[in-house]
Structure 1
Amino acid sequence: MDIQKKYDPSTSDRGKDIIILAIESSCDETSASVCKDGKILSNFIANQKVHEKYGGVVPELASRAHMQNIVPVVDVAIQQAQIQLSQIDAIAFTYAPGLIGSLLVGSQFAKSIALALNKPLIAVHHMQAHVLANMIEERKPDFPFLCLTVSGGHTQIVIVNSPHDMHVIGETLDDAAGEAFDKSAKLLGLPYPGGPLIDKYAQQGNGNRFSFPEPQIEGLNFSFSGLKTSILYFIQENTKNNPEFIQENLEDICASIQQRIISILLNKLKKAAVQTGCKHLCIAGGVSANSGLRKAFQELGEKYNWQTYIPSFQYCTDNAGMIAITGYYKYLAGEFSPYSQSASARAEWK
């Protein structure tokens, strides 16, 4: 079977259900999903609690946990979808970017299934999948649209002309927004993962109480390293004479940090929307689960009469549902991968 040949949806699969099994293992979540004709039938995720006591993901422990989880996770996804393994038309998997040990577990498992079933293999870039998570649910953006992808490792603005035609028009020059959240939380003494805790405390705080600078970066690119430095100096200065400063003002500090990170993100997205003329705007990635960002993003759309789209929480964090929907579009376009497709920790996607 030539798995790299082009697929013509107008002929061979006319009237046929297209079922994709997808696997995601780029970091510390093991996830499997089944997609049928663009509809997600199952999206099962196994989290790894082992990293909490270390204050971050330990790559070796992550890959070991993936090896333990991958078989039962795939089995649950197939059972929940109520299909048979023999019904699958293709296997999609995350090939990049991420922790190489984690990626290897998912990619090798996907290749094994594809070889055993004699089915095509579809390699998916993690960031492209985050963007297309906005195409999973019934309400979908019109093309072209802009997508702000924000996670622990990436912050990008992408213009999306079709599921197969996307271009990064803005990205971080240093740290990602998710990293800024987590490292700020660490400075405040909050446990890992700290980003969701900042969001939790911020909901009860005053975001105007403390002021943090907004980087003046030309164009549509981002920078968060200077903000992290200013937060460090702020904490050092205020705890010098009052060791209880953080505890006494935690909610307002979190609200002020979150408000600044959000303003950095949305001011650039607003600029991109004006420059491109796009009226349909999306957000994606783990940070898009942040309640403050979701609210501010929707308010931005209402203010400028833009249509805004946010994936459900289960499709914001790392999940195989977004890999499945991307695999589905790639299947329709005949974008198959060789069995020799390798995983990559840092493969670029433009």
Structure 2
Amino acid sequence: MSTTKTYILGIESSCDDTSASVICNGRVLSNIVANQEVHSKYGGVVPELASRAHQQNIVPVVQQAIEQAGIDKRDLNAIAFTRGPGLMGSLLVGTSFAKSLAMGLDIPLIDVNHMQAHILAHFIIEEDSKIPPFPFVCLTISGGHTQLVKVSNHFDMEVLGETIDDAVGEAFDKSAKILGLPYPGGPLIDKYAQQGNPKAFTFTKPKVGDLDFSFSGLKTGILYFIQRNVKENPNFIKENLLDICASIQHTIVEILMDKLKNTVKKTGITNIAIAGGVSANSEIRKRLQLAEKHIGWITFIPKFQYTTDNAAMIAITGYLKYLNNTYADVDVTAKARLKVTE
């Protein structure tokens, strides 16, 4: 076994978090994330403000990641960066910086697909982590994506099903907005749901293909339900907040579990992983653990720090590409829309 140490710097700037991470042979030495508070008062990410904040954050964040890793920038073997998908202005900041640094240090540049990186975060080596064997199915759930992906090896992925309209993270955040909760509301719904009755209210599940998702109808249903009840009782939300949150969360998680069951039935694959920001949700984690216990699935749940946008997932993907000598040309460009299979 090789004792050579391979250091990869990962840079993530696809949305509103500026992140840098150093990985050595698959192990995380540092994973720095700078959040942007500026968006909360607007109730969502403002692209122009996001790219400006990235410009301010990227140098200190990268410097901190290298220092925390206890190495010198000249020890780096390659620079990996998020090429897409994401907000164009944000992606450009990370892409330009990664190119300049790689050229300055005269080391390879590696472009990373953000969605692949969410899935490949499962391959970060840690003492207590279990790495999924191939093939496995990954349910990728975030503010921008809801997909069922069959993963046959690190870079052989096939989309089995996806949302035909809104992503699941959006369904959580929009429902929270309807309830008057601050942005981002998804984690607040999760928090309140833990104290409420999930069977208090019922919402209609959308009727779409076996492996496809749809959340726009559910959002509309929740909106009409709230409007109707608030008209009758102006204090309806205040008096029932915990039960409403629990019922919304229960419905959304039921939809996700139904689709996973359909996927297992169709593919025969029982190795099931989750990835993306919404995989931090406590209910989906609990339900997957129960499925492992009662249905015989083998489930892979990422650590919280690798669920939201972070550079460790970019660095591990960069490391796997580095082992394959898959490098990017210096004229590579950021791409706002990028499929998980690209």
Give the TM interval when normalised to the shorter protein: over 0.9
1:281-317 alpha-carbon deviations (Å, 9 max, x no partner):
1101000011111111211222111111111110000
Question: Structure 1 residue 146 and structure 2 residue 137: aligned?
Answer: yes
Pick one of 280, 287, 298 that aligns with 1:307.
298
Is 1:238 aligned with 2:224? no
- 2:41 maps to 53
Cα distance in 1 for partners of 2:288, 2:237 equals 28
Which of 62, 67, 70 does residue 79 from structure 1 map onto?
67
Pick the aligned partner of 1:165 from 156, 162, 167: 156
Give me the TM-score of the superposition, normalised by structure 2. 0.97
Deviation per CA, 1:169-204, whole angstroms, max 9, x where unpaired? 111000000000000000001010100110010010
Confirm or deny that 1:44 pairs with 2:32. Answer: yes
Secondary structure at the aligned position of 1:262 is classed as helix
1:230 alignment partner AA = G
Give CA-to-partner distance per residue, 1:199-220, whole Å, 9 cap, x none. 0100100000000011121231
CA distance in 1, matches of 2:48, 2:209: 39
CA-CA distance at 1:15 after TM superposition: 4.2
* Number of aligned positions between the proteins: 338
Q: Are 2:157 and 2:340, in contact at CA under 8 Å, matched by a contact in 1? A: no
**2:334 counterpart residue number:** 343
Superposed, which structure 2 residues align to 1:1-350 within 5 Å?
15-136=3-124, 137=126, 138-350=129-341
Cα offsets for 1:238-293 (capped at 9, x unmatched): 01121110110000000000000101111101111121111211101000011111
C-alpha distance in 2, partners of 1:184/1:162? 36
For residues 319 and 272 of structure 2, the distance between their equivalents in structure 1, rounded to whole angstroms, comes to 22
TM-score (norm 1): 0.95
Q: Structure 1, unaligned stretches of length 5 or more? A: 1-9
Amino acid of the structure 2 residue aligned with 1:119: I
DSSP 3-state at the match of 2:232: coil
Q: Which region of structure 1 is more displaced relative to structure 2, 155-164 or 129-138?
A: 129-138
Distance in 1, matches of 2:340 and 2:195, equals 38
Query: Which amino acid is the alignment partner of residue 73 of structure 1?
Result: V
Deviation digits for residues 74-122 of structure 1 (CA, Å, limit 9, x no counterpart): 0111111111101111100001011111000011000010000111111
Across the aligned residues of Structure 1 and Structure 2, the Cα RMSD in angstroms comes to: 1.1
What amino acid sits opposite 1:232 in the alignment? L
SS in 2 for 1:232: helix
Q: Which amino acid aligns with 2:326?
A: E
Question: Which amino acid is the alignment partner of residue 35 of structure 1?
Answer: I
Identical columns (%):
62
